[in-house]
């Protein structure tokens, strides 16, 4: 199996900007407008068929010739991968990954000390200023812990 490098694509950058905006809004006066709604999540879909429809935005994953649709048609595909060290993403593998993530029932969970200990330990071992435990959802990255 080939690993996929997840750099911040434009969609992830927008999601990060929403998180920062939300934090800024929460620290200002209550006269400000409410924070924007969260990005879409695998938790929003009840079945594999619903998730597939959402991921293809009503488009077919393959055209009538059996060729894959252009990558820019789907927002879940990372367009800036270094293909010399990555393999192409595909709908079935991404759906399986998301459904597995959903089965863990930890998205939107409260922070837990065990993850905080892992990030603290990783920061010390690797002598880095920041360590994270994060989960990449359909339209967002969920941070279980960050130090």
What are the two backbone dihedrals, phi and then psi, of residue 129, each rounded to the nearest 5 degrees?
-75, -20
Residue 126, judged by CB atoms within 10 A of its CB (0-12, 13-18, 19+), counts as exposed
Helix H or strand E segment including 124: helix 113-126
Segment 61-70 mean pLDDT: 48
pLDDT of 54 = 87
Least Cα distance to 110 among 74, 83, 142 occurs for 142
Mean per-residue pLDDT for 113-138?
93
Mean pLDDT across the stretch 23-48?
69
Residue range 25-50: mean pLDDT, rounded: 72
Taking the whole predicted model, whether its pTM rises above 0.85 is answered as no
Mean confidence (pLDDT) of the chain: 75
State the maximum Cα–Cα separation within the chain, in Å, rounded to a whole number. 56
């Amino acid at each position: 199996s080939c690993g996929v490098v997840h750099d911040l694509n434009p969609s992830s950058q927008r999601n990060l900007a929403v998180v920062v905006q939300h934090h800024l809004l929460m620290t200002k006066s209550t006269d400000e407008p409410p924070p924007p709604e969260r990005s879409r999540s695998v938790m929003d879909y009840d079945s594999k068929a619903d998730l597939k429809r959402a991921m293809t935005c009503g488009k077919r994953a393959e055209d009538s010739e059996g060729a894959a649709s252009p990558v820019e048609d789907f927002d879940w595909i990372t367009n800036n991968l270094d293909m010399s060290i990555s393999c192409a993403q595909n709908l079935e593998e991404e759906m399986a990954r998301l459904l597995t993530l959903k089965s863990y029932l930890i998205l939107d969970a409260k922070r837990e000390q065990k993850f905080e200990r892992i990030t603290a330990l990783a920061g010390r071992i690797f002598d880095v200023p920041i360590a994270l435990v994060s989960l990449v959802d359909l339209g967002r990255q969920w941070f279980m812990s960050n130090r």
